[in-house]
Structure 1
C-alpha cells in the first residue's frame, strides 16, 4: 500500500489495515493468545499474540497522548516519558506489561476504541494540518499517525498470517 499523502488516503489505509488485523485477531482462539511463540519487538525476545495487541494499543495510546498534549500547548516527550527513540524494544516491553492483566477480548476492545479515537482526530483535522507542515521534527502529523497505526497494523497482519500458518490455524 502506498504511503498516504492526504486525509482521505490516511483514513482509507487505517480502515483497510485495521480491518484485516481485526479479522486476524478474531480467528485466533483466545486460549492460544498467551503463548509466547511470536518473534518479539526486541532481538531475542518472544511475545504472544496478546503482547502484539498490547504493543499496537500502546502506540495508539501514545499517538492520542501526543496529539492531546500538543493541542493543550504542553511539552510532549517523544516517544514516551523516560524513553528515547533508540529504546523502542524496552518501550515494547512496557506496553506488554501495561496490558498483561487485561483479558484478550477486553484488550481488543481497548485497541478498537483507541483506533476510533485516532480516526476522530484525523476527521477533526484538514489536509493542511495533517500533511502541510512538520508536526514533530521533519514529520507531519499525518505521517506520525500513519507510522503508529496503519503501518504497524499491516506489519502485525503479516506476522499473524505467518504465525497462524506455523501454528496450523489457517
Structure 2
C-alpha cells in the first residue's frame, strides 16, 4: 500500500533503505561485480537505484521551474526503458562498488531531505507538475526510493542464492 502522508513516506523510505543497506554491507566487491544472464550485476542495480532517485529529483525540479520534463530522460520514452537502462549501465561501467554505494547514500540523503522539506499538501495534494499523469510527487518519490529499494533487495537476495 502506497504512503499517503509525509510521515508515512519518511518512515517507509528509511525502513526500506535500512533493509537494503543491511543486505549489501557484508558483500565483497567481487560478489557485486558478477554479471547475471542479462549482463547486470549487484553493483549495477545499486548504481541504477541511485540514478533513478536523481532522475526523480530532476523531474520534480524541472516541473516546478516550468521547464520541459523528459520522462524518463531526453531521447527516451517509457517504452525505451530496457535501452535506457542498458545505456545507463554502459555509462556507469567504470563505477566501482564503493562508488555505487556512495552514490546510493548521497541519493538517499537528497531524497530524504526533499521529503522532509515538503508538507503533506506538497507531496499528496495533486499531480506532480509536468508528469502528465495523476501521480503525486509523494507517489513518484516512493517509486524512486522505497519501491526501488525493495526491488533491489529482492534482486540481490535472488543473486546471492544463485551464487551459493
Tell me the TM-score normalized by structure 1. Answer: 0.89
Deviation of 1:99 (Å): 1.8
What's the CA shift string for 1:65-92, capped at 9, x where partnerless? Answer: 1122223332211111111011111111
- Tell me which residue corresponds to 2:35: 36
Does the residue aligned with 2:52 lie in a helix, a strand or coil? Answer: helix
Matched ranges for 1:72-111 at <5 A: 72-111=65-104
- Tell me which residue corresponds to 1:138: 134
What's the CA shift string for 1:8-53, capped at 9, x where partnerless? Answer: 111111111111111222121111211112x6xxxxx231111111
Deviation of 1:151 (Å): 0.6
Alpha-carbon distance between aligned partners in 1 of 2:24 and 2:69, rounded to the nearest angstrom: 32
Aligned length: 161
Unaligned runs of 5+ in 2: none
- Tell me which residue corresponds to 1:42: none
Quick check: which one's strand share is greater? 1
- Tell me which residue corresponds to 1:7: 6
Unaligned runs of 5+ in 1: 40-44
1:61 lines up with 2:54 in the alignment: yes
Q: Mean alpha-carbon deviation: is it higher for 126-135 or for 98-107? A: 98-107
Query: Where do 4+ consecutive residues of structure 1 move more than 6 Å?
Result: none
Deviation of 1:163 (Å): 1.6
1:129 lines up with 2:128 in the alignment: no
Does the residue aligned with 2:115 lie in a helix, a strand or coil? Answer: helix
1:159 lines up with 2:155 in the alignment: yes
Question: Would the aligned equivalents of 1:4 and 1:10 in 2 still touch at CA under 8 Å?
Answer: yes
Tell me the TM-score normalized by structure 2. Answer: 0.92
